[in-house]
Homo-oligomer: A and B are copies of this chain.
Amino acid sequence: MTGHSSWVPGAAGSGHDVDHLPYGVFAHHDDDPRVGVRIGDFVLDLAPVGASDMVPETDTFAAPTLEPLMAAGRSAWSSVRDWLTALLYDPSERTAVEPHLLPLSEVRLLLPFPVADYVDFYCSLEHATNVGLMFRPDSEPLLPNWRYLPVGYHGRAGTVVSSGTPIRRPCGQRKAPSDAAPTYGPSRRLDFEAELGFVVGTPSRLGVAVPVADFSDHVFGVTLLNDWSARDIQAWEYVPLGPFLGKSFATSISPWVTPLAALSTAWAPLPGQSPEPLPYLQVAEPAGLDIDVAVRCNGSVVSRPPYRSMYWSPAQMLAHLTVNGASLRTGDLFASGTISGAELGQRGSLLELSWGGRDPIRLDDGSTRTFLEDGDEVTLSATAPGARGGRLRLGQVTGRILPADDP
């Protein structure tokens, strides 16, 4: 199907052709926010399209959230995607559809769905090893459980924010190993973490595990995710119950959710798992995703983390998350953990890029960074193979650091 492009001007080769079609929620002038789909540099306003006789009638898109669409389930996702593809591919639909295209520059993009529960995993062998070396220098970097299960924890759902939301530098307790006692103040080691987030559409029942094979029935799509982290707060607080205030001040996600169906040709083999996982975690290959991420700080590329290097697969995360019978809700979000490859330029956090602050990195303007400074803007972007050749461009996620609000 290579070369079959939308009639929408500029869509061909943009990473936002008919093989992508990510969903988002937008506001246009003073109208109520509603659901749109991206094509080229336009948003197709889906509420009037869904109410028209162009397609099977639906009011799924009049909501200020993707939640009704997400809750509609896999067969609904599939038929909506089919009719959207037809409308945006077939030139004979142009006259009817074009009035509902809005230039991206004229809309504000909002948080695409209210997050129910947010779980963050720790799926990169390289990231877990790097953090272990820095946080626990006197012991084995990789803990004994790491190769047996995708380690994860719950984060704060209420502070998941949309791309563009400014990030206030958090205050809290910090204590360097050499300090006698902690002090209160703004974090001095503010960091990003480049991650992929998986968005649950179809819920599951309490007490019933979701097997790896059912991944695509439950997962609606994918976002980029920046798990902002205050390393000094985190290092002091995290034993024994895990990260808390070092992470809970903000987590940014992209405004566009790429449907899982758009990634059908992006699956790639996992790097290899040893020992063999327990049966409930065994997956058919290819189980990984060939997604290339780029991290920019003030426009300078500081890292290019490769998602295909991740040890644990998305379906393994979901199966593990529910193996104890924990139920899923529409709007649950689970993230991969920091994506770090084996090379220096592939590490997905400043903690790893600067090796805990020891080795500053250089930006294009000649300035250096160990951790983030006030005013810094961090942007994650990513591409994945599209089903019609070329690469899809996943929705960017960006955020700028505001100074601490310290009394």
Contacts and interface: CB of A to CB of B under 8 A. Distances in A.
Contacts of A323: 171-172, 184, 245
Nearest to A120: B241
B405 A325 contact: yes
Interface string A206-245: 1111000000000000000000001001001111111111
Contact of A117 (B157, B184, B238): B157
- Among A143, A161, A323, A324, the most chain B Cβ lie within 10 Å of the Cβ of A324
Copies in the complex: 2
A102 B122 CA distance: 51
Interface in A78-127: 116-117, 119, 122
A315 to B, nearest CB: 17
A389 interface: no
Q: Is the contact region of chain A dominated by helix, strand, or loop, or is it mixed?
A: loop
Interface string A32-44: 0000000000000
Interface stretch (A2-10, A17-25, A254-262, A272-280): A272-280
Contacts of A181: 148, 275
B241 A240 contact: no
Interface stretch (A326-334, A366-374, A392-400): A326-334
A242 B241 contact: yes
Contacts of A154: 153-156, 244, 248
Interface in A134-167: 135-136, 143, 145, 148-149, 151-159, 161
A320 B278 contact: no
Contacts of A279: 184
A250 interface: yes
Given A171-B323, A325-B405, A240 B237 contact: no
Given A153-B243, A154-B154, A159-B206, 7 more contacts: A148-B182, A151-B240, A153-B154, A181-B275, A184-B279, A206-B250, A249-B325
11 contacts: A116-B158, A117-B158, A119-B244, A148-B173, A148-B175, A148-B181, A151-B244, A158-B328, A171-B324, A172-B324, A239-B240
Interface of A: 116-117, 119, 122, 132, 135-136, 143, 145, 148-149, 151-159, 161, 168, 170-173, 175, 181-184, 206-209, 230, 233, 236-246, 248-250, 275, 278-280, 320-321, 323-329, 332, 402, 405
